[in-house]
Amino acid sequence: MTRSSKPVRSAQSRACVTLLALLCAGLCPTVPARAAPPATAATVAAKGVTLRSKSVDLPFGDASFPGGPGAQAVNSNCLVCHSADMVLYQPQLSRATWQSEVDKMRSAYKAPITVSDVPAIVDYLTSLPVAPNSAPLGKPPIRGSN
């Protein structure tokens, strides 16, 4: 989890990021995309740029975190924004790092995690085993201190 701890600063920045993501989804060869039917396709043109709506089929993502103490809190709070696979394939992180990540989600990104759920989430994330594919380029997984 090496994302920046700085939140997006303005509505204009969020709009630009959203537009860029939508454009990339339509242009990226690894994302299956199909053109919307011409009768319902929306097209916007301005200043020499034409944007056309696309329909994108995304993979089905219904995985949840494995059971155990704290799984309910993690499934209820973290799956709102993150896939279980994204979290489960992180290198093992220390308790302090997971605490910092949860605090960042609450303060910078305004995740609606109650204070009472934070210890259960941090305990659960700290107890996760090292994911088999979490290490880049065949290197051993990075292990944090618990």
What's the CATH number where 103 sits? 1.10.760.10
Q: What is the pLDDT of residue 92?
A: 86
Question: What's CA 90's distance to the chain center, in Å?
Answer: 12
Question: Is 49 within the bounds of a domain?
Answer: yes
Long-range contacts of 52-56 (CB under 8 A, 24+ apart): 52/26, 54/22, 54/25, 54/26, 56/25, 56/26, 56/31, 56/32
Question: Is 64 within the bounds of a domain?
Answer: no
Question: Is 31 within the bounds of a domain?
Answer: yes
* One domain, residues 52 and 76: no
Q: What is the pLDDT of residue 141?
A: 45
The DSSP letter of residue 94 is -
* One domain, residues 82 and 131: yes
CA distance 10 to 38: 34
Question: Is 121 within the bounds of a domain?
Answer: yes
Domain that holds residue 118: 71-138
* One domain, residues 78 and 134: yes
Q: What is the pLDDT of residue 29?
A: 46
Q: What is the pLDDT of residue 17?
A: 61
Q: Is the pTM of this model over 0.85?
A: no
Q: What is the pLDDT of residue 8?
A: 43
Q: What is the pLDDT of residue 138?
A: 43
Question: Is 61 within the bounds of a domain?
Answer: no
Question: Is 35 within the bounds of a domain?
Answer: yes
Q: How many domains does the chain have?
A: 2
Q: What is the pLDDT of residue 40?
A: 55
Q: What is the pLDDT of residue 94?
A: 92
For the chain, list residues with pLDDT below 70.
1-41, 58-61, 131-146
Question: Tens digit of pLDDT for each residue in 40-82?
Answer: 558 888 898 998 888 887 666 678 898 899 999 999 999 988 9
